[in-house]
Structure 1
Amino acid sequence: MPQTARTIVIHETGGPEVLRIEDRRIGDPGPGEIRIRHHACGLNFIDVYQRMGLYPLELPQALGMEGAGIIEAVGPGVPHLKPGDRAAYAAAPPGAYAEARVMPAAQVCPLPKSIGFDQGAAMMLKGMTVEYLFHRTTPLKRGDTVLFHAAAGGVGLIACQWARSEGLRLIGTAGSDEKCELALHHGASACINYRSEDFAQRVRDLTDGAGVDVVMDSIGADTFVGSLDSLKPLGMMISFGNASGPVPPFDLAMLAQRGSLRITRPTLFTHIADAAICQDMAQHLFSKVTKGDIQIRIDQRFALDQVADAHRALEARQTTGSTILEV
């Protein structure tokens, strides 16, 4: 039965002012689809990239890649979900900034009863990102050292705890002493205030000149060269975001000159394209949370109609932990 749901939509790219709230018509799910009524949805930098046009979308387009709520209806060919189930997801296409939506079911995951909807909305995209960074990108073993930028953000605080739970040494960076303290509290072995220190030089000091095994960098342009300079020979650079802008073209010889370095630019959505892998990643994340290895910290909450303010806070790097929109 058709109904409407308040939904955040963009008709053009630009600043937070292009975000509009509209009543959108939603119907019943078709084959392989579900209809979910959200309790909360997550805020992520990919939403900003899409709003700005860095990641182009066909317009008009609803935004949001992460949400949690109750399954209202299930189309044919959806064996893992039924009406009334609690569920959470990080998935394409965008559209999570909404009271309810119809969407493909493959990447929607049953949510354990012990995990709240706000936690589910805050952790799926960020937590599964950490899962693939630590388990599906390059081999890591107990005792290895990782440099993780933006360690006090939503992804970063999960990464600090994940590293601690697996015996990895994580050196973080953050933009203030207060944010550094937050990262340390969540499991970072050290955290560098990049506004007051040269982080690459500080990493060398912390590793007795050796450098780190892996850099996980979601900042992009501002940290790229320093990240390369923080690696030991044969180290791996994982560039997985562009918070300061995309990395400009560079000479591959830079990698040879710095010790035969390796580099990759993965995305979560490549990893979760396989439905079985997506469900496995979610279960790994859920187990970390339910065992207490990871606590999901939600430091900012906005109403759905305050989404522009939420975007402004995220872009200004005024947030810590995760941010959710309450529906």
Structure 2
Amino acid sequence: MRVLVTGATGFLGGVLARRLKAQGYDVIGSGRDAAKLAALARDGLETLALDLAEPHIALPTIACDGVIHCAALSSPWGRRADFHRANVSGAQNALRLANTAGARRFVHISTPSVYFRFRDQIGVREDAPLPPPVNAYADTKRQAEKLVLAETRLDPLVLRPRGLYGPGDTTLLPRLLAAAQQRALPLMNDGRAATDLTYIDDVADAACAALTAATPQQRVFNISGGEALRVREIAERAAERARCAVSWRRMPAWLVLAYARASELACGLLPRRPEPSITAYSAALFAYTQTLNIDAAKAQLGWSPRVRFEEGLARTFEGAPA
């Protein structure tokens, strides 16, 4: 089976492309980073230098059986136009490429941010009504989902993996640890906030399962590690592994959220729109519980998470083999 992995120079895309190759797939990895494309080529993968975010790009002529679309812009802050370009235009071009390549399955990597509300949400299912988007990232990923699901001839599936981490992560745990080193972290609602993270190999396995699954009953699947972890515990255990200190400051949630919103407003008015020290979305992750129900992925994709958080931390910080 010949598979195109978009965003193969990114965190998930790189792990996934190599995993598919190791399983005997004929893999094409596309991306923008020349050095990372060269590294993929040294590992025996076919590579394709391609920026799918370009609105009027001339697409290459390729043939493949399936596409896993990982390329995206993921951030709690940024210009809406940049998110639209990467996430909406990028999805449109990936779908065009899949159609011309003769693909029979299109797997789109989305995000549980589309569910986000400023309140506790426990065991959210895929059919939960979606609220107004919390930010431009969630909005454009939701738009991309609609585009993908409309392409029924590509037998599309959408995965919403929560909180990816592992060796090579430059976003989730590094951002958390950087914030902990700069200041005390806000402890809101007595530290009850919890979430479920997902080790990178488990997300890659879920994408592989989606690629080959017989047409399931539904099209959208939650993916997570299946453990509801206190955010305070995540921060403290990661800091211990990284050999750095973390301190907490008790604060009312309304005050932290008000400060974050004011910071967003102020930064949005500045010429270069610098990222605030904390966004409302980031603050809310410390205040509210947000967990996913993954029963559908288990039952319909035949997938289950295998790496528990403690083991995932060891692999992340100590370089333990996958």
TM-score, length basis structure 1:
0.32
Normalized per residue, the structure richer in helix is 2
Normalized per residue, the structure richer in strand is 1
